[in-house]
Amino acid sequence: MIKMSRMPIWLFISLVGFYSNAADMKVFKAKNYLDVASGKFISPAVIVVEDGLIKAINPAELDANLVVTDLGERTLLPGFMDMHSHVTLDYYNGDHWTTAPVMETAADWALHGVTFGKNMLEVGFTTVRDAGAFPGFPDVALMRAIDSGNIVGPRMFPAGHYISITGGHCDITGFAPGIQELGPKQGIADGKDEILKAVRYQAKHGVKVIKVCATAGVFSKGFSPGAQQYSQEELNTIVEESTRHGLKVMAHAHGSEGIMAAVKAGVASIEHGSMLTPEIIKEMKKRGTYYVPTIHLVDVPLPPDTPQWTVDKNNFLTPYVESSFKMALKAKINIALGTDAGVMAHRDARLEFYAMVKRGMSELQAIQSATINAADLLGVNDRGQLKTGMLADFVAVDANPLEDIRVLENVAFVIKGGDVVKGL
């Protein structure tokens, strides 16, 4: 027992601080880690974590009082980031999604997100950009619950309500007049005045990104999935107003005209980008626009009771999706990983890596698309690499992912903010 009467006060304070800091620190040890910027492995991997951040990597000395979590002969990588997910939605269980807007509430969708978010975190996605939810901001509520530590899930950048024209792809359609008739507060906005209201209402309620539906789509009624839905002037207004609020814009866009209009408006990323052209790619490269291909969806069979209009549009777009991905890869435009989880099972977000690699992307490029590229798209510098001062979000895998990308489909450990959320 330490007696204050026999110890200088400065020494007592130093010892208290030392033992307190030691108790707050965590150490993780593994065979090596991947520097995702250079593609080089660094061995060994000893990561010291304090207050959820990486305090040191491979320090010359390690305090003997620190408890070390030994992850064995494994490789560490930064936590993955999915730039296009729908954490609160379920589009893959038959035709449930066609009636969910009138059968369920925002509370239901937020509760779905508790399960789906945990599913994504456990397969290695420590950050997700949520690409839109049904009305009521269930994704924002989910983000806040995760941030407060009340539930387990990935760090979220929610888009809240989609910005869409009346009757467009991201409106709720197919019901009788008077049922789910939405307006600017729910993201359905026509013309400059309504668009301003819609974006401002989103910003007021805590979204971290604005999602605009620049064209028609697959999972909505109608026969042309690529039809442009917002004019150039309207898209310009969306980007300009979002920028004033410090929010980037992600644009759902399948058809060439709508993609080009969104790129010229200054969106941060094109989602899906099914019908790219050399002219579009040239414009994207000039502006630094990101392409988020969600290419694994091509490999996912639609559920048997999917409405026929969705099946027909999906079949129409498939060959364009394949050629657009190859074109983008050859042109070396910015690519960030996005899965559209929610349209497929959330835990299958992990399959996007292989889907890109088997179509010609290198293993390192695929990893970079979910780490440093994703961080750049989000506009953050606190994640995406294993570096001192960054968030202690990382995963451990059993083999070399640069030799076999599919090892990323079965991560052994997931650490978020220095806490082990899968593995022990």
Known catalytic residues are: 211, 340
Query: Is-contact 170 162, C-beta < 8 A?
Result: yes
Whether the upstream peptide bond of residue 225 has omega within 30° of 0, thus cis, is: no
Q: Where are the alpha helices (DSSP H) in 2-78?
A: 9-24
Distance from the Cα of residue 191 to its chain's centroid = 29
Phi, psi torsion values for 371, nearest 5 degrees:
-130, -90
Query: Is-contact 146 118, C-beta < 8 A?
Result: no
Q: What angle do helix axes 256-265 and 232-244 make, rounded to 10 degrees? A: 40
Grouping H, G, I as helix, E, B as strand and the rest as coil, residue 66 is coil
Angular region, 286: left φ>0, alpha ψ -120 to 50, beta rest: alpha
Give dist(CA 212, CA 223) in Å, integer.
20
CB count within 10 Å of CB 37 equals: 13
Give dist(CA 390, CA 52) in Å, integer.
9
Give dist(CA 51, CA 289) in Å, integer.
34
Question: Would you report the helix, strand and coil content of the chain in percent, each value rounded to 5?
Answer: 40, 20, 40
Q: Which helix (H) or strand (E) holds 354?
A: helix 352-357
Rounded to 5°, angle at Cα 283 from 248 and 341: 45
Query: Is-contact 160 205, C-beta < 8 A?
Result: yes
Phi, psi torsion values for 413, nearest 5 degrees:
-135, 145
Sheet with 25-30, edge to edge strand ranges: 53-57, 45-50, 25-30, 68-70
Give dist(CA 68, CA 148) in Å, integer.
27
